[in-house]
Amino acid sequence: MNSNRLQGTVSWFNTKKGFGVIESGGTEYFVHHSNIVNETNNRSFLNEKQEVSFIPYQMPANGHKHVASSVKDKDGQVLDFSLSHTHIHPKTQR
């Protein structure tokens, strides 16, 4: 696995809106569905408490402070969505 990648756990992910939060080392990272790496390039989602790896970056002042990009499974491999199911965080269900 790339040494620039961090390990984290999905705190929540809103499949309807296509974004969520990954927690790593006490920091929350915003994740958008377009930053999730999968084999089909279809709209992807993450499951609550799913362990993942990602490359962190910071957005300019007007964006999210911490962002997760190139989100993959915990071993740095492309995510497999054949067995996934959806979880929607209640605070973002509007």
HSE-up (13 A, CA, CB side) for residue 89: 18
Q: What average pLDDT does range 26-38 have in this prediction?
A: 92
Q: Report the CATH number at residue 36.
A: 2.40.50.140
**Per-residue burial over 29-62, b = 16 or more CB atoms within 10 Å of its CB, e = otherwise:** bbbebebbbbeeeeebbbbeebebbbebeeeeee
> What residue numbers bound the domain in which 21 lies?
6-92
CB count within 10 Å of CB 18 equals 15
Residue 73: both structure tokens together: 């499974």
Decide if pLDDT at 83 tops 60. no
pLDDT value of residue 38: 81
pLDDT value of residue 66: 93
- Could you tell me if residue 1 is inside a domain? no
Residue 19: both structure tokens together: 């974004």
Decide if pLDDT at 90 tops 70. no
pLDDT value of residue 85: 43
pLDDT value of residue 54: 96
